Structure 1
Amino acid sequence: MESSIEETEPPIERKSLIKAFAASLSGTSLEWYDFAVYGACAALVFGHLFFPDGDSLAGTLKAFGTYAVGYISRPLGGIFFGRLGDIVGRKKVLVWTLLLIGIATFIIGLLPTFSSVGYLAPVLLVLLRFAQGVGVGGEWGGAVLLSSEFSKPEQRGFWASAAQVGPPLGNLLANGVLAIFSQVLTTEQFIDWGWRAAFLLSALLVIFGLWVRFSLEETPVFKKLEQHDERSNAPVSEIFKHESRALFAGLFARIGPDVLYSCFTVFVLAYATQYLGMPRSDAIESVTIASGIQVFFIPFSGWLSDRVERRLIYAVGTIGAAIWTFVFFYMMQEPTFARLLIGVTGALICHSLMYGPQASLIAEQFSARLRYTGSSLAYTFAGIVGGAIAPILLTWFISFDPSGFFICLYIGLSCILTLIGLAMTRHPHQL
């Protein structure tokens, strides 16, 4: 049952709401800038620099394996930071997670490669990737609450989408940087130092994010939890005892979008360059343009979910994603830049219809006193099933089935799990 904390709507200044939107957006943008740069480099150069064994497929799989580490470590961050977020507050925890993600990413840009220090290089890469994942595990749940708990319930879909705009915006920034580098640098220059510059530039996002978050007050909802002494002392155990349905509903609902996003922002870079023989710049530019469209389409989908039942918008995107994947691989039987762009854009529009309403839909499933922990656990555990293993499985599938049929089945199954999750969710007035 929802806490009485939210029965009375708190007075909220629009200035605070806009600052909360910016604070939420900046953190998730950094998170996904880091992940997008890492994913792109895993697809394009990390196999050669950190896992050289003469086999490009094996090197790519190993690089995607370190990409997966960032997802596998997320539940630790979700448990640790989610619990703190329900005990000490949303704002404090989000400063810590931003610092952890930013420092780990910056250091990756300074790492020596295999040719310099041997096996120490991939070990350090995995450790830093692990630290990134821990920070990310605590970031999303808090970022969602930072914007949604400053908003009115009837506008929650739009304002909570701030955290969801972070992935395409971070992807846009990352692939924009990589696209510029691919145009002005030779392949040798990019492999030598260009990829490092992309990681080091993340420091700018960290500085901006910290400036915004330090200037922001705690959310009105958490302030009332403190005033009424309704904070939980053991939010993780309470989630599993009393709100497990909400947890599994949120977990399943996230799987389809996670797999789809991994396919069309990470795997597609390796697929287009290594299997279709397309220029690296074509692959990066297609993801960059499609991500730019998502920056506007995700908040639109969140806004639409405030006017139309959230689960309906989400379900339309889920069904569309399963169908569109077949269309994409059929089009790519004759690969051109135009077809690649249309294919990636169509997939990310379907993703937007799921991702826009997602933050508010999942957060609304949990009571206010357990919401940071519940949202974080749903996000992080879904990431293991959806995001962590997806690039590895996608690369494996395409290695023995270039037609992409098994990839289509994989994404279709992921979308079925998402529809099951949606069926398990409840409208806020049912809670």
Structure 2
Amino acid sequence: MSISSATPVIDEKVTKRVALGALVGTALEWYDFFLFTTASALVFNIQFFATKDPILAGIFSFGTLAVGFVARPVGGLIFGALGDKVGRKKILMITIVGIGVVTGLIGLLPTYAAIGVAAPVLLILLRIVQGLAVGGEWSGAMIIAVENAPVEKRGRYGAMPQLGSPIGTILSSGGFALLAFLLSKDSFDDWGWRIPFLLAIPLLLVSLWIRSRLSESPEFEALMEEGETEHAPIRGVLGSSWKQVLVGAATAMLGVGGFYLVTTFVVFYGTTVLKLDRNLLLAATLIAAVFEVFILIGGGRMAERFGASRVVITGGLLSAILAFPVFLAVQSKDPFLVIFGVTLGVCALSIPYAVSGAVLTGLFPTRTRYTGVAISSNLAGLLSGFVPMVATATLAASGNSWVPSAWLLIGISLLTAVAGLAIPSLSIKQQGLKA
């Protein structure tokens, strides 16, 4: 019996356990990555770059942030190909260790004042290693969750690993907000910011224990038993699935790039230009993350009922419509409106993000799925990594105007909406995605 006709037996108890393991891993992944993005806006520009120009320091800091996203596609190619050859679970154990260890080391890194230019160099090197590991983490976690799920419920289980994003935001922003509240500004800038990074080590140990209990994908096991695994998955994806790669990347773009624009850049813009209290902005991202949890859960259910493409299109258009209101709310400096604006923006862009994992897994066959999803998601990540830096550069060029950033959000939103139109014709129908 060929893999195309095989129907692996699904035990939903196993499905739930695998989904939890995937969620815990992605939560740690996003916790570590969001620590870096928040620290880029609040700390790294002060502690690791010697310049008195706050905008220039911000550009340097966000450039370091972007370096990690440049490394992600390389990691995606490496770990994606290995995941299609040796299995999803083995690679996920490697990537989670890489992410957690690097994050802990960042918490121990000396500053520019202590060791000079070596400080930003080491920060960049650690960021590269972190980016390599992240390049294979999200795609593997998403795939193993979806491949272990019943076809008719892949929308909801595909949304489960996505919950790692708001959970990671809550843990990272919440940790920074608590420390900023408890400590003086000097204490926070001097040593307090290190604590959330160091906490990544015990979180890693918990994640490893949970992830060790994961079950390998039944679809991949069937491939292994029949000797039909792909020997050259990168060539296979780039040669026959390049359209799927582009559509997948565009689908994921809003949930990643738009998110960094509405959170990371807004935190920097609010503290540097508007002189807003950083606790207010951290609270805004924290509250937005809480609401995002419910959006992601609802988005997964909507995909099962109405189709993933409709969810992507709706979220993209809504995010474009709300771009100017979101930035106007932040610009008002009113605490309620600032929190409302950030929350509104995050909720809108989270609609397509909820289904992006299920969409990407449905674009590629099992033989090359890990590689295809990794390339697509990391291409989106690569472009997204430069969004805060581009927004900061346009901020400087426009005399501190927020308008170019709003147009940037509109452009990203429409790109995702257009990708939604192409999903039905490119998806593999047996992946449970309605046209």
| TM-score interval, smaller chain | over 0.9
Q: Percent identity?
A: 33
Indicate the larger mover: 115-124 or 239-248: 239-248
Aligned residue for 2:69?
Answer: 71
Distance 1:124 1:131 in 2: 11
Matched, 1:24 2:22: yes
Match for residue 394 of structure 2?
397
- In the alignment, what sits opposite 2:95? 97
Matched residues in 2 for 1:90 and 1:133: separation?
Answer: 19
Are residue 428 (structure 1) and residue 425 (structure 2) matched?
A: no
Q: In structure 2, how many angstroms separate the alpha carbons of the residues matched to 1:110 and 1:355?
A: 33
Identify which range, 247-256 or 111-120, moves more after superposition: 247-256
> Distance between the aligned counterparts of 1:337 and 1:401, measured in 2?
24
Partner of 2:417: 419
Q: In 2, distance between residues paired with 1:83 and 1:401?
A: 46
**1:159-196 alpha-carbon deviations (Å, 9 max, x no partner):** 01122111111011000101110110110111111111
Q: Which amino acid in 1 is paired with 2:341?
A: G
| Residue of structure 1 in register with 2:309 after alignment | 311
Aligned mates of 2:2, 2:110 — CA distance in 1: 54
Task: Indicate which of 201, 204, 207 corresponds to 1:206.
Answer: 204
Q: What's the CA shift string for 1:260-318, capped at 9, x where partnerless?
A: 10112211111111111111100000100110111222122112111111111111110
CA deviation after TM superposition for structure 1 residue 60, in Å: 1.2
Residues in 2 aligned to 1:197 and 1:415: alpha-carbon distance in whole angstroms: 35
| Contact residue 329 and residue 403 of structure 1 kept, 8 A | no
**Counterpart mapping for 1:205-224 below 5 A:** 205-224=203-222
Q: Distance in 2 between matches of 1:8 and 1:236?
A: 24
Residue type of the alignment partner of 2:24: S
Q: 1:208 Cα shift?
A: 1.5
Assess if the C-alpha contact under 8 Å between 1:245 and 1:424 holds in 2. Answer: no
What letter corresponds to residue 383 of structure 1 in structure 2?
A: G
For normalisation by structure 2, the TM-score amounts to 0.95
Aligned residue type for 1:304: M
Partner of 1:258: 256
Q: Distance in 1 between matches of 2:231 and 2:77?
A: 13
Counterpart selection for 1:323 from 308, 321, 324: 321
Instruction: State the Cα distance separating 1:249 from its structure 2 match.
Output: 1.0
Within 5 Å, which residues of 2 pair with 1:13-412?
13-385=11-383, 387-399=384-396, 400-412=398-410
Asked if structure 1 preserves the Cα contact closer than 8 Å seen for 2:313 and 2:417, the reply is yes
5+ unaligned residues in a row in structure 1: which ranges? Answer: none
Give me the whole-angstrom Cα distance separating, in 1, the residues matched to 2:132 and 2:331: 39
CA distance in 2, matches of 1:124, 1:266: 22
Larger deviation: 329-338 or 121-130? 329-338
Which residue type is aligned with residue 428 of structure 1? Answer: I
Answer with 374-383 or 213-222: which moved more.
213-222
Q: Which residue type is aligned with residue 395 of structure 1?
A: T
Offset at 1:47?
A: 1.0
Partner of 1:123, secondary structure, is helix
Contact 2:179 2:192 in 1 (8 A): yes
Q: How many aligned residue pairs are there?
A: 428
* Matches of 1:29 and 1:361, distance apart in 2: 20
In structure 2, runs of 5+ residues without a counterpart are none
CA distance in 1, matches of 2:189, 2:331: 30
- TM-score, normalising length from structure 1? 0.96
Greater mean deviation of Cα atoms: 323-332 or 376-385: 323-332
- Higher mean C-alpha deviation, range 387-396 or range 403-412: 403-412
1:4 shift after superposition? 5.3
In structure 2, what is the Cα distance between the partners aligned to 1:420 and 1:354? 12
